[in-house]
Amino acid sequence: TDLAQGLRLRDDFPGLLDGKGGDWHYLDSAATAQKPTAVIDAIARAYGPDYATVHRGVYERSANMTLAYEAARRKVAGFIGAASDSEIVYVRGATEGINLVAQCWAGTQLKAGDRILLSTLEHHSNIVPWQIVAEKVGAQIDVVPLTQDGRIDLDAMRAMITPQHRMVALAHVSNVLGSVLDCRRAADIAHMVGAKILIDGCQAVPRLAVDVQALDCDFYVFSAHKLYGPTGIGVLWGRKELLDAMPPYQGGGSMIDKVTFEKTTYAPAPTRFEAGTPHIVGVVGLSAAIDYVQGIGLDAIHAHECAMVAKARSAISQINSVRVFGPEDSAGILSFEVEGVHPHDVGTILDETGVAIRAGHHCAQPLMRHLGVEATARASFGIYSDDSDVDALVKGIERVRKIFG
């Protein structure tokens, strides 16, 4: 893409205005993405003239909303290459998706002595749910190390995996380093010993084309709010035979077949996992977000974000005593450290110049420990990012350097 112009989408995003007539450089899309007007309008319509519940109403408005809700499920399935829309479970977000698999699959399948394989760079939401279930069933957790440049080391994974490993859970794209996993190879290694593999696709789905069947994983999760959609809604994809064999996650309305005090039977997947009135409007917003992103194309988005990161990486690494983390080909995310300056101070000074980055441990404390830092500064790009954002970031870091000498 023409970096100076970006993808020319800024006008679609009211959240990119700073409200004071100035430029705002939003470089925190990995935390959550700004929303295009198309998504905001779809949400407003869904809460306004289209609003009604799903699955229960006999009146036309509810029937229409149910159609929209289920059409969105088919859209999601197509978007990630699922074999069937019955493999798509609506959840609150990636966090809930992982907890659901940890409790309903691992919690019922694993026994004492079984092992779970994670990696050093995982987000806390792909660590803690496994620790909770491991403690419950007496399983052990092992950790795949990283390569020098910050990728999950699949050679090491191959060497350490055993038939005791029943579940492997890895991030498709690191939320700190932007490193991209070769999911297919990771899946092949997991399947070699008969383990299942869950991929945390939170940072991948907004940044690259995902086809869960080509990746050959068993579960895949992501959150809508990083995909330019609303908060509070996300997706768990699971292979049909796995979902069919899993017990319910929560009990309540909608997830049942028949309820009596003697015995209750459950609806088939995915309904079995969607207890209670769902996030109807969230689903509508997610659907609009997928339309928006598909209108641009994931390949164009990926190329654009890689170009942004490459430019930022080369400019930032030329500034005195600034260290960048992660591989050269990281996808849309760049962590860095200004030596001798706390990342929070870097973030605060950048904020004064209208540049919004994230500073902290990014919910990846084990990775921070591995990098030998307490925190990093992180710039992350989105479909609306352009050259002016990179320039403002570089200028801001130069200012940090000046202030701190």
Active-site residue (options: 202, 217, 306, 363): 363
Dihedral sign for Cα 158, 159, 162, 167, please.
negative
- Out of 202, 289, 338, 400, which residue is the one contacting ligand PMP (CB under 6 A)? 202
How far apart are the C-alpha atoms of 378 and 26, rounded to whole Å? 12
When asked if residue 200 is in the footprint of ligand PMP (CB under 6 A), the reply is yes
367 or 400: CB nearest ligand PMP: 367
Tokens for 252, please give them: 């309540």
Specify whether 183 is catalytic. Answer: no
Site for ligand PMP in 355-384 (CB under 6 A): 363
Site stretch for ligand PMP (CB under 6 A), options 34-42, 90-98, 187-195, 294-302: 90-98
When asked if residue 93 is in the footprint of ligand PMP (CB under 6 A), the reply is yes
Tokens for 207, please give them: 């940044």
When asked if residue 171 is in the footprint of ligand PMP (CB under 6 A), the reply is yes
When asked if residue 175 is in the footprint of ligand PMP (CB under 6 A), the reply is yes
When asked if residue 95 is in the footprint of ligand PMP (CB under 6 A), the reply is yes
When asked if residue 119 is in the footprint of ligand PMP (CB under 6 A), the reply is no
94 or 255: CB nearest ligand PMP: 94
Site stretch for ligand PMP (CB under 6 A), options 7-15, 54-62, 92-100, 291-299: 92-100
When asked if residue 94 is in the footprint of ligand PMP (CB under 6 A), the reply is yes
- Out of 103, 120, 223, 330, which residue is the one contacting ligand PMP (CB under 6 A)? 223
Site stretch for ligand PMP (CB under 6 A), options 195-203, 295-303, 332-340, 397-405: 195-203
Site stretch for ligand PMP (CB under 6 A), options 100-108, 109-117, 120-128, 302-310: 120-128
Taking the complex as a whole, the smallest distance from the CB of residue 260 to ligand PMP amounts, in Å, to 36
Taking the complex as a whole, the smallest distance from the CB of residue 377 to ligand PMP amounts, in Å, to 16
- Out of 123, 196, 207, 378, which residue is the one contacting ligand PMP (CB under 6 A)? 123
- Out of 103, 120, 125, 330, which residue is the one contacting ligand PMP (CB under 6 A)? 125
Residues labelled catalytic: 363
Which residues are at the interface with ligand PMP (CB under 6 A)?
93-95, 123, 125-126, 171, 175, 200, 202-203, 223, 363
